[in-house]
Amino acid sequence: MYFMLEPGFIRLKNCEEINIEFCLMQRKLILTSDGSHSIEIPGSGVTYHSIHGAIGESKHVFIEAGLKSVRPLAAARRIGIFEMGFGTGLNALLTLIEAEKLNLKIHYETIEIFPLNNEMIKSLNYCEQLERSDLQTVFENLHTCEWEKEITITPNFLFKKSRTNLLNFGTPGTSGTFELIYFDAFDPSVQPELWKKEIFDKMFSLLQPGGLLVTYSSKGDVRRSMQSAGFNVEKLPGPPGKREITRARTDKR
């Protein structure tokens, strides 16, 4: 979930600004309530996922409200997904697993400026918790494969990650590329600039007509920014520890 527009500072809950590169050097694994790992920056109160359950939150927000609700391209059964902030790779792993069940072909793109180190990647217990130890090598490959290049992770899962910030992502040809966006950025209280209308203008431009954007935040300012960018916005029930989440749809033609 750790992502930013450009290297600089993050805002903690006490309004103190701390250099993000220093913060990310201090990252540590934590165990969330459903037994799955997340990552915390010590002393900041900032975690990559809900402390009430990393896997549970990601399934609820991005798989149930997102992947299972989007319309694939009919003939090819294909869905293009853009994830803002690759983080631990949990959302990509869950998507790969669900795509197998739903017989979907996934083209998955994501961006990350500060990837995890190999020791932390190997320590994440997602495959164990999901009872998919057969995917451990696949999961690690998501993290260690080449940057800026489309990689065939499985026959139905094409993957590309870019070590860039959001402002530099995409080209004119990227417009309208995706059916679904996982918006998994810093919390608005930490980096409010990632939740402004200008950001959602760009997200809107990346989506196909009728495309979806899903995110864990349901703050009023966030929803109004989405609406100002042209999205039709709805609030949905949240996972444990979270009252509501947001799903936004483009109706452009």
Which residue's entry shows tokens 């540590």?
Answer: 28
- For domain 56-249, say whether CATH 3.30.930.10 is its number: no
Q: Write phi, then psi, for 245 (nearest 5 degrees).
A: -130, 175
Residue labelled with tokens 């954007």? 213
Summarize pLDDT for 63-86 with one digit per residue, the tens.
999 999 997 765 678 999 999 999
What is the distance between the alpha carbons of residues 10 and 80, in angstroms, rounded to a whole number? Answer: 30
pLDDT band, residue 10 (cuts 50/70/90): very low
Helix (H, G, I), strand (E, B) or coil at 134: helix
Whether residue 178 is predicted with pLDDT greater than 90 in this model: the reply is yes
Three-state helix/strand/coil letters over 9-48: EEECCCCCEEEHHHHHHCCEEEECCCCCEEEEECCCCEEC
Q: Is the pLDDT of residue 17 over 50?
A: no
Our CA dihedral for 235, 83, 44, 15, rounded to 10 degrees, sits at: -70
- How far, in Å, CA of 134 to CA of 44, rounded? 35
**Residue 187 confidence (pLDDT) above 90:** no
- Compute the distance between CA of residue 29 and CA of residue 81 in angstroms, rounded to an integer: 27
Q: Please state, for a pLDDT cut of 70, what percent of the chain lies above it.
A: 86
Tell me: the pLDDT tens digits for 148-167? 999 999 999 999 999 988 87
Question: Which value, to the nearest 10 degrees, does the dihedral of the CA atoms of residues 95, 101, 103, 105 take?
Answer: 10
In this predicted structure, the answer to whether residue 3 has a pLDDT above a threshold of 80 is no
- Note the Cα 240 to chain centre separation in Å: 19
Cα distances from 137 to residues 54, 93, 106, 147, in angstroms, run 20, 11, 19, 17
What are the residue ranges spanned by the domains of the chain? 56-249
**Entry pTM:** 0.90
Q: Does the pLDDT at position 237 exceed 90?
A: yes
